[in-house]
Amino acid sequence: MIAAGVTIGSLQTALPLGALENRILLCHALGITRVGLITQSERTLSDVEAATLSTLVERRLHGEPIAYIVGKREFFGLDFQVTNAVLIPRPDTELLVELVLERLPPQGRALDMGTGSGAIAVAIAHTRRDAIVTALDVSAAALDVARANAAVHGAAVRLLQSDWFAGVQGETFDLIASNPPYIASGDVHLSNGDLRFEPLGALTDRADGLSALRIIAAGAAAHLAPQGWLLMEHGYDQAAQVRHLLQEHGYSDVQSWRDLAGIERASGGRAP
């Protein structure tokens, strides 16, 4: 589709994607930085480069998320490796990290449930070197990605393969955080955009959207130190239900917090 011999400069506007995505795929295909796009703008593409770039553009036109194509996404100022075994980290989820950082005591023990790429756990451990961070996921493939991300960022994170609380029997934490699957089965969002390519088990509980949130709210009480915080991300319309759930289980200081779009995106409370 893209011919060898065209200049790098001309391609930045000639590709069929938006300006930002054109640049990202050009840099990735050619192995150069954004500065390289400028300094090499008169250089022409080789046959191999043209073929590589064509393949990447085709994948994007087919709907594949740009983060999977280039294998990374920035979150909390850090580059995270991503594969299609993990959810792509969302800017919304930075709220959860900020809430954790404000509440984790010195040398605090934090648990991230359903860590996926490890974004939440690695951001915490990277920012707070004193923290003792555990992250779990049921998916071995996700844990491989999380392990790579922890290593790249020199973040001390203990990783466990565990179906929710099964792997942390008898353990206590000062804070538990989670961005669990919370989209209800059949929600139209699952069949649109990036979500079509993301692991279904990271997005939906295949039920009413609240079942993972229920399991975590019910189980966390037995794994939290007195007054320890449980903080959970949830869907745009689930805040009232999640607050209710937390109150039912006896948590105190139950409240919700808004993301940058003004949507109640996370809720939490202190251990009963």
Residue ranges that bind ligand GLN, judged by CB under 6 A: 87, 90, 92, 179-183, 189, 195, 203
DSSP state of 227: E
Q: Which two tokens stand for residue 221?
A: 């009480």
Q: How far is the CB of 42 from ligand GLN (least distance, A)?
A: 41
With respect to ligand GLN, which residue has the nearer C-beta, 37 or 203?
203
Taking alpha carbons only, the member of 270, 267, 196, 260 closest to residue 235 is: 267
Q: With contact defined as beta carbons under 8 Å apart, do 252 and 230 qualify?
A: no
With respect to ligand GLN, which residue has the nearer C-beta, 16 or 91?
91
Q: How far is the CB of 187 from ligand GLN (least distance, A)?
A: 9
Q: How far is the CB of 262 from ligand GLN (least distance, A)?
A: 15
Q: Which two tokens stand for residue 62?
A: 């087919």
Taking alpha carbons only, the member of 119, 141, 145, 144 closest to residue 133 is: 119
CA dist list (Å): 266 to 58, 77, 105, 213: 36, 20, 20, 11
With respect to ligand GLN, which residue has the nearer C-beta, 162 or 204?
204
Q: How far is the CB of 193 from ligand GLN (least distance, A)?
A: 8
Q: With contact defined as beta carbons under 8 Å apart, do 93 and 75 qualify?
A: yes
With respect to ligand GLN, which residue has the nearer C-beta, 184 or 271?
184
Q: How far is the CB of 147 from ligand GLN (least distance, A)?
A: 21
CA dist list (Å): 242 to 49, 186, 211, 218: 50, 20, 11, 12
With respect to ligand GLN, which residue has the nearer C-beta, 28 or 90?
90
